[in-house]
């Protein structure tokens, strides 16, 4: 990815060919600054309905920053973010929230609320502030509580939950927003192995029902098994983007992640880690 391509050039390259679904979310040569540092330097990727896109890369490579640009938590300093084909700078926060929701590692806004009340906050973009919650809101919240396995904890104060349980509350709140695109920042952090698989299986199920998912991940083995496509970031730049099994070849795994590993293709691809590169 050179620095000299224009947004229009980059967009033309990512536009859907005949028969391909149009992207629900696209970053096109997106740049972003934090403090006085440019931490994203021209990132381009797209995600369509039914697809899980993994954002991977070493610590500090810009994954969280890229995700924050996707849901308007950070305004890019260059390039574009297109939501359902529309430049996000022309959309209201509420309109963005009706299309995209995020489960991110931010200080919880739910202190003093029960699990159910916290998850119900996800319905906010669908209501004006005077509206009461409807039966449909309640049914959606119930479904999300069940999807993440929190039925037994629904009445508990969020502040009494473990890190993993809070992680699941955050995912359920994002799902309650009924987005077309779900963004998740390291959703398997803090989770035991069983719950890591439960979360990844849930994402796979949601994607097969049509959701577009963008997820930052450290665990490349889970990424290989569950992500259709990957965007690999290094030092704020896009090192590679495309089908997971194509992208994660041995030279890239050695160069970017410093590991010797190989990916076995198959209906469910797997990664075998052989050691340090
Ligand atoms: P990742 O999610 O891949 O670990 P981040 O997007 O969190 O990476 O961070 C990208 C880079 O931005 C890192 O080098 C990080 O140190 C830097 N960074 C994060 N916050 C700030 C800040 N407030 N000011 C300057 N640099 C920052």
CA terminus-to-terminus distance, the chain:
25
Rounded to an integer, what distance in angstroms lies between the CA atom of residue 229 and that of residue 265? 14
- Predicted confidence at residue 15, as pLDDT, reads 52
To test the pocket of ligand 1, the residue of 32, 34, 104 to mutate (highest count of ligand atoms within 8 Å of its CB) is: 34
**By mean pLDDT, which of 80-84, 105-109, 118-122 is the weakest?**
105-109
Q: Is 228 left (phi over 0), alpha (psi -120 to 50) or beta?
A: alpha
The CB of 36 under 6 Å from ligand 1? The reply is: no
Quick one: which H or E segment has residue 141? helix 135-147
pLDDT above 90: percentage of residues in the chain: 76
Per DSSP (E only), the strands in 154-216 are 181-185, 212-216
Verify whether ligand 1 is closer than 6 Å to residue 235 (CB atom). no
Whether 37 lines ligand 1, by a CB cut-off of 6 Å, is yes
**Best of 60, 102, 232 to mutate for ligand 1, by most ligand atoms within 8 A of CB?**
60
249 has a pLDDT exceeding 90: yes
List the residue whose alpha carbon is closest to atom 27 of ligand 1: 34
Q: For residue range 129-147, what is the model confidence (pLDDT) as tens digits?
A: 667 778 899 999 999 999 9
Q: Judge residue 251's burial from the number of C-beta atoms within 10 Å of its C-beta, 0-12 exposed, 13-18 middle, 19 or more buried.
A: exposed
Q: Which residue is closest in CA terms to ligand 1's atom 22?
A: 34
- The whole-number pLDDT of residue 19 equals 63
CA-closest residue to ligand 1 atom 26: 34
Residue 4 in this model has a pLDDT that exceeds 60: no
Ligand 1 pocket, residue 35 CB under 6 Å: yes
Confidence of residue 104 (pLDDT cuts 50, 70, 90): confident
Is domain 21-276 in CATH 2.40.160.60, yes or no?
Answer: no
Sheet of strand 86-87, all strands in order from the earlier edge strand to the far edge:
37-47, 25-34, 78-83, 86-87
Q: Which is more confident, 105 or 77? A: 77
- Is the C-beta atom of 234 inside 6 A of ligand 1? no
CA distance 26 to 20: 15
């Amino acid at each position: 990815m050179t620095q000299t391509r224009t947004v229009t050039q980059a967009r033309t390259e990512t536009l859907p060919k005949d028969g391909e679904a149009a992207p629900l979310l696209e970053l096109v040569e997106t740049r972003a600054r934090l403090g006085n540092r440019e931490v994203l330097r021209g990132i381009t990727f797209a995600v369509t309905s039914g697809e899980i896109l993994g954002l991977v890369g070493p610590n500090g490579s810009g994954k969280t920053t890229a995700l924050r640009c996707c849901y308007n938590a950070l305004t890019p300093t260059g390039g574009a973010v297109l939501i359902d084909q529309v430049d996000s700078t022309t959309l209201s926060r509420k309109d963005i929230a009706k299309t995209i929701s995020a489960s991110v590692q931010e200080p919880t806004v739910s202190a003093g609320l029960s699990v159910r009340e916290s998850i119900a906050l996800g319905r906010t973009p669908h209501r004006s502030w005077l509206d009461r919650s409807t039966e449909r809101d309640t049914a959606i919240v119930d479904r999300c509580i069940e999807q993440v396995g929190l039925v037994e904890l629904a009445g508990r104060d969020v502040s009494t939950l473990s890190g993993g349980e809070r992680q699941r509350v955050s995912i359920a709140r994002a799902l309650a927003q009924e987005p077309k695109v779900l963004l998740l920042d390291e959703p398997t952090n803090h989770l035991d192995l069983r719950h890591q698989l439960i979360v990844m299986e849930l994402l796979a199920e949601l994607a097969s029902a049509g959701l577009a998912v963008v997820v930052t991940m450290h665990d490349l083995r889970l990424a290989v098994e569950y992500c259709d496509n990957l965007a690999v970031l290094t030092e704020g730049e896009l090192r590679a983007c495309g089908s997971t099994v194509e992208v994660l070849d041995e030279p890239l795994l050695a160069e970017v992640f410093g590991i010797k590993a190989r990916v076995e293709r198959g209906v469910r691809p797997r990664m075998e880690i052989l050691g340090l590169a």
